[in-house]
Amino acid sequence: MNTPALLRAVPIDGSPIPDMEIVTRCRRGDGHAWRTLYDRFAPVVYRFLSAFGVPLEDREDACQEVFVAVYRSLSHFRGEARLSTWIYRIAARHASRTARRRRVRSLLSTLLVREPPPPPAPDPSERSERLQILDDLISKLSPKKRLVLVLFEIEGVPIEEVAKIAGCPENTAWSRLHYARAELTAMARRRVR
């Protein structure tokens, strides 16, 4: 008689399943193993993101995004480090990217609202003028950097897709995004002064 996968997820003696066993089962497509992995590490990742400064309102989404990255990358986990260490690295990279995005968006919003808030009935031409300033700054970026910045920051396209669209490796897309953000930030600061 076959034992249901859910019952096989916990050994008969009640001891926790070793991490590498969970990894092996996840790689085979065992949904219950994925649930076990998530249940084991989600509280840790959530606390880590909190300590890393991810705001409360973004934490749940950030935690989910970390586990999407874990899911996509688990086939590359070699077991040279503990599974928790590997997941922390993914969470740290994600938290760093989230913080950078927040800084860029904050800077952009600061640039867009340099003036006092508009009256209750905002003049559409003012918003248009602010957007024109942003468009002007973005247009000064090189085409490769502009493509990556617009796709990732404005359109919300995942970096894997951005890399495919840009026809470059994922690391190159991250590099272009980094430099695009830095240049845009520098241009915005010069404009605000």
pLDDT tens digits, one per residue of 99-155 = 777 777 777 776 665 555 555 555 566 667 777 777 788 888 888 888 888 778 877
CATH code, domain with 33: 1.10.1740.10
Same domain, 78 and 140: no
CATH code, domain with 170: 1.10.10.10
The verdict on pTM exceeding 0.75 is no
Q: How many domains does the chain have?
A: 2
What count of other Cβ atoms lies within 10 Å of the Cβ of residue 120? 5
Give the DSSP letter of residue 74. G
| pLDDT band, very low/low/confident/very high, at 12 (cuts 50, 70, 90) | very low
Q: Domain limits at 187?
A: 133-193
